[in-house]
Amino acid sequence: MGKTLVMQKALTCFTGHQLVPYSFSSFTSKQQVQESLDERLEKRRRNQLGGREGKQVIIFVDDVSMPAYDGFGTQPSIELMRQLVTCRGFYDQLHWKSVSDATLACVTAPPEGGRKVMSPRFTSCFAVLCMPPASEESFVRIFNTILQRYISHEKGFRKEVTQFTGKIVDAVLLLYEKVASGLKSTPLRAHYNFN
């Protein structure tokens, strides 16, 4: 929870860089990724892409492990990204397009609920940072703060309502735990993913 927000916040510290965000889904194809890179990056020369006005580019991919496998057991869009990192470019039809001054940053979660196991060839190109799951006390504090700000006297709620924020948060977290333990997400029932 919060991996995307943490990474986006960290990437905003890089002033003078051009951020190119992209979010993968199970339907993301290699062709879509190529077209997106062609659109979002500046054409410097005939077959060379890069950032605007010589800026460094950070390509940020959210949910990188989501694309579906093809008939050969690979994920073509991820293989395109691997080629981008290892060879500093990619093939567009039969022509090589080099990408200069670009860094790839990705976030993902453990393989479940539609997320796939990524190729070790791809993951070996990265320094991997893991984010531990938040504790129950953190959830209680976060949701209490949000609810107290929403149910305040300025919003028109009476004082009797504002004193129940702790009980509301406890009930919601208990309901979430029951649903999460009973309704495990599968690729066929991806709507069981609760955030």
pLDDT in tens, the chain (195 residues): 578 888 888 888 887 888 889 999 888 999 999 999 888 988 888 888 988 887 889 999 999 988 988 889 889 999 999 999 999 999 887 889 999 889 999 998 888 777 888 888 999 999 888 888 778 888 888 888 888 888 876 667 777 777 888 898 999 999 988 887 777 666 565 555 544
* pTM across the whole model: 0.71
The Cα 87–Cα 168 span in angstroms is 53
CATH number, position 53:
3.40.50.300
Look up residue 67 and give its DSSP letter.
S
Q: Tell me how far the alpha carbon of residue 60 is from its chain's centroid.
A: 8
Does one domain contain both 39 and 63?
yes
Please classify residue 136 by burial: count the beta carbons closer than 10 Å to its beta carbon, then call 0-12 exposed, 13-18 middle and 19+ buried.
exposed
Q: Tell me how far the alpha carbon of residue 182 is from its chain's centroid.
A: 26
Please check whether residue 11 is in contact with residue 60, taking contact to mean a CB–CB distance below 8 angstroms. Answer: yes
Q: Is residue 128 part of a domain?
A: no
Q: What's the pLDDT at 55?
A: 84
Q: Is residue 26 part of a domain?
A: yes
Q: Is residue 80 part of a domain?
A: yes
Q: Is residue 131 part of a domain?
A: no
Tokens of 62: 């959210």
Question: 179: helix, coil or strand?
Answer: helix
Q: Is residue 42 part of a domain?
A: yes
Q: Is residue 129 part of a domain?
A: no
